[in-house]
Amino acid sequence: MEIVRSNTYNNLEQMTNNREFISNIIKRIILICDADSNFSGIKKQIDSINEKYETAKKKINKQEKLLKTSKSLKEEFLTKIEIIDNENSKMRLELLESLGSV
């Protein structure tokens, strides 16, 4: 089919016909899609998989957050342990010295 595009007055009728035809086609597509069980079936499947996708994405973000927090917690504990360990070693040596054992 040839679609005529023109802004001239003479072709106004042709233009209107084209527009009406295309508009009718779109309406018909929408009607068929609504009535077509296969179409709505696949749409439901896509919605369902999209929901799973979003849930999985949220879960991964939550896990990322947890991993980040746990990493900083580990570092914090390691630092605390190192500090207290050094203090203990120093005090232990001082006590042994005061008891005349070193």
Partner 1 sequence: MKITTTNIPEVVVNMEKSKTELANSVIEEIYPLLNEAYSSRIDLVENFDVIIQSKKSKVQINKLEIESLVEKLNKKKKIKKLLEKINELISSGLVQDGRLRSETINMLQIVDMLPEDQLDTHLNTVVSNITKRFS
Residues that bind partner 1 (CB under 8 A): 1-6, 8, 11, 21, 24-25, 28-29, 31-33, 36, 38-39, 42-43, 45-46, 49-50, 52-53, 56-57, 59-60, 63-64, 66-67, 70-71, 73-74, 77-78, 80-81, 84-85, 87-88, 91-92, 94-96, 98-99, 101
The answer to whether the beta carbons of residues 14 and 22 sit under 8 Å apart is no
Query: Cα–Cα distance between 39 and 2 in angstroms, integer?
Result: 30
Say which residue the tokens 């054992």 belong to: 101
* Alpha carbon distance, N-terminus to C-terminus of the chain: 105
Q: How far is the CB of 30 from partner 1 (least distance, A)?
A: 9
CB of 38 to partner 1, least distance (A): 8
